[in-house]
Structure 1
Amino acid sequence: MSPFLFLIVAEGLNALVERAVERQLLFPVKIGKDEVPITHLQYADDTIFILEADERNVESLKSLLLLFHFVSGLAVNFAKSSLMTVGVNVSVERTWASFLHCKIGYFPCLYLGTKIGGRSNGVSEWKFLVDKVSNKIASWRKRPLSLAGRITLVKAVLQSIPVYQLAYAFIPKTVLKNLNSLFSRFLWGGDSQSRRITCLGDGMNTMFWEDVWAVNKPLKFSFPRLYNLCSNKKALVGESGFWEGEEWVWSVNWRRDLRERENGQVEELLRLVAAFVPSTGCLRMVVSPYCSSIFIS
């Protein structure tokens, strides 16, 4: 309820700005060939004013914000606010900042996690985005994540990080390649020095238990108890399942009936390998329902 009430009150600030423009107390910036006037943008409790660089606007803006404070009871924290200008003399900018009791900001800057200003076609301008993805991946590196878990994190978290930036700027191909490389290495469990997934063909040259293929180590080390219970420790990947129509079904033979705890381990094993299907060209990864084809090479 409180956020809703705040938005209702914040709408009063919007009405004050519109009335000030009508009475020519504020002069907005006009954008594009149609000269669309823009005075401010509001997001929750964050507001950006976009006005012509004019002393009248500075004076009117401060009066308007003080009036809003007296009417609504919501005070503007000028100490946390920033004044950013384009093409204004440094001394004039300092005078205006002093009048508003705010600090001076500079372009490019980050606003709500999105970079504003700078050259969008410059690779260096996108370094913050690559670093943000790298830092997020680093925070997960020591966690024991399954392939399904990595797929979920790539699609739900990593791919969403650049969304707002891409809404208004074209990303350079080099940066896109770097991001896809980070996504791919994280997905396959590798790092900058290694690739931990091997191309297996139809699975008839790779051993199910003793070779590295589904994760970054042989499955016999991930599931030692199941390895001891399997009837064929030298079984190949292509022999460890069968086609049922157009669907590949993984199937491993055991020396005896499995106990309840062991059945739980089998379920975990099958979840791990479920994303892989032998094919005539290369062991391919199932794209649906979780994985995007952008990561398949």
Structure 2
Amino acid sequence: MAFYQANWDTVKTDVQAVFDDWDFLGFVLDKKGFGAVWRKWMLGCWSSTSFSVFLNGRPRGKFKVSRGLLQGDSLSPFLFILRVDVLGRMVDKAKSVSALRGFKVGKDFVEKCQLLGINLEEDIVELRAKEIGCEVGQWPMKYLGLPLGASPHNKGFWEPVISSCAKCLDGWKCVFLSRGGRLTLIQSILSSIPVYYMSFFCIPKGVVEVLEKLIRDFLWEGADHSQSDNLVSWKEVCKSRDHGGFGIGNLDSRNNAFLMKWPWRFSLEKSSLWHRVVMSRFKVGKGDRIRFWEDIWINDAPLKLQFPDLFFISLSGNCLIKDMVVSGGKASLEILGWDLRFRRNLFKMEVTSLTQLLQSLVKFLNDFIS
């Protein structure tokens, strides 16, 4: 997204041409594996969009739009991702065959940048920033609209989401909206404003309570701008319409659904950088919780199943990784060797297995470092 924001003047014409080509979107949906019925539904949404004006509580007349779905429609961001994904893949392919070349960054651009260090001394960061010609940034910072370096467990972390929702659910709007109109506005806000944050972070209970209070007060507030009684329990309101609710949904459940994409992607993107970082740093950590032979930390099976002959004669069958490390008991980049003790000398076939085990350990460290 940052790429398109920074280079919009360059790619604007091409992107708009793609967005106006609905046949292209149908082609993309087909290649992505969407069924014919689904593609037909989507075609109906973007080719037969029409609007009506409410007069005295009833829709009067219809008029069509020429550009299909509008920006506020909940389908728009998903269709945008499908289209832009094709452009991203084209750029990656062009890069792989050296069809794209870099350009020299101007001094004015560098002066607008900031350099931040992670686990580095301030003197080193300042020296590198001086060499590049940019400023030294401070944590926490914002990147692609998300705060980095701050704790998502604090309420202040979610203040932008709370402020945006409070602004959209301002009480004066109740005077001009029926209860059905308020419900529609609430559902539109919940499907847009907090989604980005909730897709990456676990929302605290205190923030959920604040957002639910905003929504609850806006929904039940009377036309005279005074607080009225809640006509239905909030638990019933959050239920789906098929179960007698208003279809608002539970924020905790919605947050969990968004976060479930990461375990799904983790199992599929095993060659990606973020997968290797999680496997090496966050799963193994200091090695004080993972058992060397019996837990899964290298490849997709415990080492005792990958090398059963070595495990059978090992003297450290239930030891942790930190107990197997030679370099002071720390499973980190300081590892100098492994303390693999056996109760007898190895046979020829077992020496071959030991060689394969050491190669797996070296490969694990190399992936961790890179």
Which structure shows the higher helix fraction? 2
Taking structure 1 as the reference length, the TM-score comes to 0.42
Which structure shows the higher strand fraction? 1
Per chain length, whose mean CA-contact separation is higher, i.e. which structure has more relative contact order (CA < 8 Å, sep 6+)?
1
